[in-house]
Amino acid sequence: MLFRLFIGLFVSLFAGAVMAIEGPKYIVIEKSDTFELRTYGAKILAETVVSGSLDEASSAGFRLIADYIFGNNTLPTGDNQKISMTAPVTIEQTGEQWRLHFVMPSQYTLASLPKPNNSAVTLREVPASNYAVICFTGFASEDKTAKKTADLIAWLTSKGITATGKSELARYNPPWTLPFLRRNEIMVAY
């Protein structure tokens, strides 16, 4: 009984911390078990392209984008600015490399964001779009990500929907989060 109370308290504390971080705005069009069809509004991404395994690329890409939002940037005034962290951190494979991005907080426009000082970080505006999503917990290993991607594509196929983009892995939690508390998603545009 005491263990359940402790776990309940722990989950509520960490769930609140994750929910305080802004994420991209979307509307759920359809939900079926762990699958969803969503419509996302337009968004601005800070992104980088890195090499290595999924874990190596995730770490290297995260450091580059975090460096940008923590102040390695320049405003038109010559000053730098810290930008609030958002969730999720999203990564997709592009050939032999990986593209990792953060969605910028909604109060910014492309013109109002500070420019990255590191040329490896770029800013890009993405129009409103539709995504199919599968949600899962635990570690997002390459094998698990491949399986969840196959499950999502099979679900889309069963609905007569064709994916129009590559799959993206979205992670919502810091690395020290216990596996059963982690929120991960595979997303694919349709």
Task: Say whether both 71 and 89 belong to one domain.
Answer: yes
Task: Report the pLDDT value the prediction gives residue 1, as an integer from 0 to 100.
Answer: 46
Asked if the structure places residue 69 within a domain, the reply is yes
The domain total for the chain is 2
Task: Say whether both 47 and 122 belong to one domain.
Answer: yes
The distance in angstroms from the start CA to the end CA of the chain is 46
d(CA 148, CA 142): 10
This prediction has a pTM of 0.87
Task: Say whether both 85 and 116 belong to one domain.
Answer: yes
Task: Say whether both 33 and 49 belong to one domain.
Answer: no
CA nearest to 151, candidates 34, 40, 39 = 34
Task: Say whether both 136 and 180 belong to one domain.
Answer: yes
Of 105, 126, 147, which residue constitutes the final position of a domain? 126
Query: What phi and psi, each to the nearest 5 degrees, are found at residue 97?
Result: -120, 175
Residue 190 in tokens: 């349709």
Asked if the structure places residue 75 within a domain, the reply is yes
CATH for 65: 3.20.80.10
How does strand 73-74 pair with strand 129-136?
Answer: unpaired
Task: Report the pLDDT value the prediction gives residue 141, as an integer from 0 to 100.
Answer: 94
Amino acid at residue number 33: D
Query: CB-based contacts of 72: which residues, under 8 Å, 6+ apart?
Result: 80, 116, 117, 118
Task: Say whether both 121 and 135 belong to one domain.
Answer: no
Asked if the structure places residue 144 within a domain, the reply is yes
Task: Say whether both 101 and 161 belong to one domain.
Answer: no
Task: Say whether both 86 and 118 belong to one domain.
Answer: yes
172 CA to centre of own chain: 6
Task: Report the pLDDT value the prediction gives residue 120, as an integer from 0 to 100.
Answer: 98
The pLDDT tens digits for 71-95 are 999 999 999 999 999 999 999 999 9
Task: Report the pLDDT value the prediction gives residue 20, as an integer from 0 to 100.
Answer: 62
Task: Say whether both 114 and 134 belong to one domain.
Answer: no
Task: Report the pLDDT value the prediction gives residue 9, as an integer from 0 to 100.
Answer: 35
Dihedral sign from CA coordinates of 61, 188, 173, 44: positive
Residue 9 in tokens: 């308290």
- Containing 2, the helix (H) or strand (E) segment is helix 2-19
Task: Say whether both 59 and 120 belong to one domain.
Answer: yes
Of 103, 126, 149, which residue constitutes the final position of a domain? 126
The pLDDT tens digits for 34-61 are 999 999 999 999 999 999 999 999 999 9
Residue 14 in tokens: 């960490």
Domain range holding 142? Answer: 23-40+127-189
Positions in the chain short of pLDDT 70: 1-20
